[in-house]
Amino acid sequence: MRELDSTDLRLLSLLQYDCKLSNKELADKLGITATPVLLRKRKLEELGYIKQYIAVVDRNKVDLSLVAFTNVQLSVHSTEAMAIFEKKMMELREVQECHHLTGSYDYLLKIVLKDMNAYHHFIRDKLAPLPNIKTLQSSFVMTEVKMEMSYILPDQ
């Protein structure tokens, strides 16, 4: 990976907040012309700094009001067992995030669903039946105080 200069970092910051900005708008904000912006964006994409462009959907407006954070403890901690679990998490659309942790639990899942009934079915039919699940412990979001989709990038 190449080192990013301050213009690359500023470009990434701008794109995190609004990836719909045109190259001209980005160029104006960066104090350069549109062609270098296009070239920098392509290079950042090729090098994997930009993974994808997405629309952040208001989940409540599409009837996905339940968010659960579920701690998972596995019975077996072999590399193969963890790889099987992680592969399955990648397949489950309800699982928005899966983090391998230190501490008492092995994984933390962020699960988004319509309601408690949908959560019940998800746990009963999809998560709990998986081999190697020892313990599940869930907490439910009452109020989403902050949800940030961007990172604070280092200054150059």
Q: What is the pLDDT of residues 27-41, one digit of tens each?
A: 999 999 999 999 999
- Reading the block at residue 76, the tokens are 């077996």
Separation of alpha carbons 70 and 90, rounded Å? 15
Q: What is the pLDDT of residues 45-80, one digit of tens each?
A: 999 999 999 999 999 999 999 999 999 999 999 999
Q: 40 by DSSP, 3-state: which?
A: helix
Task: Map out the domains of the chain as residue ranges.
Answer: 6-46, 59-140
Q: Are strands 95-100 and 133-140 parallel, antiparallel or unpaired?
A: unpaired
The domain 6-46: what is its CATH number?
1.10.10.10
Structure confidence at residue 82 as a pLDDT band (50, 70, 90): very high
| pLDDT tops 80 at residue 2 | no
Q: 103 by DSSP, 3-state: which?
A: coil
Separation of alpha carbons 9 and 4, rounded Å? 7
What is the CATH topology of the domain spanning 59-140? Alpha-Beta Plaits (3.30.70)
